[in-house]
Amino acid sequence: MTALDIIIMAAGKGTRMKSRIPKVLQRLAGRPLLHHVLDQAASLHARRVVVVTGHGATEVEAACAGYTRATGSFDLQFVRQQPQLGTGHAVQQAMPALAGDGMAVVLSGDVPLTRPDTLRALVDAAQGAGGNERLALLTVRLPDPTGYGRIVRSPADGAAVQRIVEHKDASDAERAIGEVYSGIMAVPAQRLAGWLARLTNDNAQGEYYLTDIVAMAVHDAVPVVAHCIDDALQVAGVNSPAQLAELERAHQRAQAAALMEQGVRLADPARFDLRGDARSGARGELVCGQDVDIDVNCVFTGLVELGEGVQIGANCCIANARIAAGAVIHPFTHIDGEKLGAAVGEGALIGPFARLRPGAQLGREVHIGNFVEVKNSTLADGAKANHLAYLGDASVGERVNYGAGSITANYDGANKHRTVIEADVHIGSNCVLVAPVTIGKGATVAGGSTITKEVPAGALGVARGRQVSIADWKRPTKQAKG
Please report, for residues 54, 208, 221, the alpha-carbon distance to residue 192 in angstroms, rounded to integers and kept in the order given: 22, 14, 14
Chain length of the chain:
482
Count CB atoms within 10 A of the CB of residue 442: 16
Which part of the chain contacts ligand UD1 (CB under 6 A), choosing from 8-16, 221-229, 249-257, 440-448?
A: 8-16
Which part of the chain contacts ligand UD1 (CB under 6 A), choosing from 10-18, 170-178, 336-344, 399-407?
A: 10-18
- Residue 239 C-beta: closest distance to ligand UD1, Å: 7
**Dihedral angle computed from the Cα positions of residues 459, 460, 461 and 463, in that order, rounded to the nearest 10 degrees:** -150
Measured CA to CA, the distance from residue 386 to residue 475 in angstroms comes to 38
- Residue 108 C-beta: closest distance to ligand UD1, Å: 4
- Among 355, 422, 416, 368, smallest CA distance to 395 is for 422
- Among 161, 181, 9, 190, smallest CA distance to 85 is for 9
Which part of the chain contacts ligand UD1 (CB under 6 A), choosing from 38-46, 181-189, 278-286, 342-350?
A: 181-189
| Residues of this chain, 90-119, that bind ligand UD1 according to CB under 6 A | 90, 108-110
**Dihedral angle computed from the Cα positions of residues 115, 116, 118 and 121, in that order, rounded to the nearest 10 degrees:** 180
**Single residue of 4, 6, 7, 9 touching ligand UD1 by CB under 6 A:** 9
Of 92 and 333, the one with the shorter C-beta distance to ligand UD1 is 92
Of 89 and 283, the one with the shorter C-beta distance to ligand UD1 is 89
- Residue 81 C-beta: closest distance to ligand UD1, Å: 5
Residues touching ligand UD1, count (CB under 6 A): 27
Measured CA to CA, the distance from residue 354 to residue 172 in angstroms comes to 62
**Single residue of 5, 39, 166, 373 touching ligand UD1 by CB under 6 A:** 166
Show the binding pattern over residues 352-391: x = contacts ligand UD1 (CB under 6 A), - = does not: ----------------------------------------
- Residue 15 C-beta: closest distance to ligand UD1, Å: 10
Show the binding pattern over residues 117-156: x = contacts ligand UD1 (CB under 6 A), - = does not: -------------------------------xx-------
| Residues of this chain, 35-94, that bind ligand UD1 according to CB under 6 A | 52, 81, 84-87, 89-90
DSSP one-letter string for 220-244: TT--EEEEEES-GGGG----SHHHH
- Among 79, 62, 58, smallest CA distance to 6 is for 79
Q: Reduced to 3 states, what is the DSSP secondary structure of residue 10?
A: strand
Residue 124 DSSP one-character state: H
Measured CA to CA, the distance from residue 455 to residue 443 in angstroms comes to 7
Which part of the chain contacts ligand UD1 (CB under 6 A), choosing from 9-17, 28-36, 309-317, 348-356?
A: 9-17
φ, ψ (nearest 5 deg) of residue 255:
-65, -40
H or E element, residue 39: helix 33-43
| Residues of this chain, 207-266, that bind ligand UD1 according to CB under 6 A | 209-211, 237
DSSP one-letter string for 75-119: EEEEEE-SS---HHHHHHHHGGGS-SSSEEEEEETT-----HHHH
- Residue 226 C-beta: closest distance to ligand UD1, Å: 12
35 belongs to the catalytic site: no
Q: Reduced to 3 states, what is the DSSP secondary structure of residue 34?
A: helix
Which part of the chain contacts ligand UD1 (CB under 6 A), choosing from 67-75, 177-185, 344-352, 462-470?
A: 177-185
Of 180 and 288, the one with the shorter C-beta distance to ligand UD1 is 180
Residue 183 touching ligand UD1 (CB under 6 A) = yes
Q: CB–CB of 107/34 below 8 Å?
A: no
The catalytically annotated residue of 167, 334, 387, 417 is 387
- Residue 21 C-beta: closest distance to ligand UD1, Å: 14
Binding site for ligand UD1 (CB under 6 A): 9-12, 52, 81, 84-87, 89-90, 108-110, 148-149, 164, 166, 180-183, 209-211, 237
Active centre residues (catalytic): 387
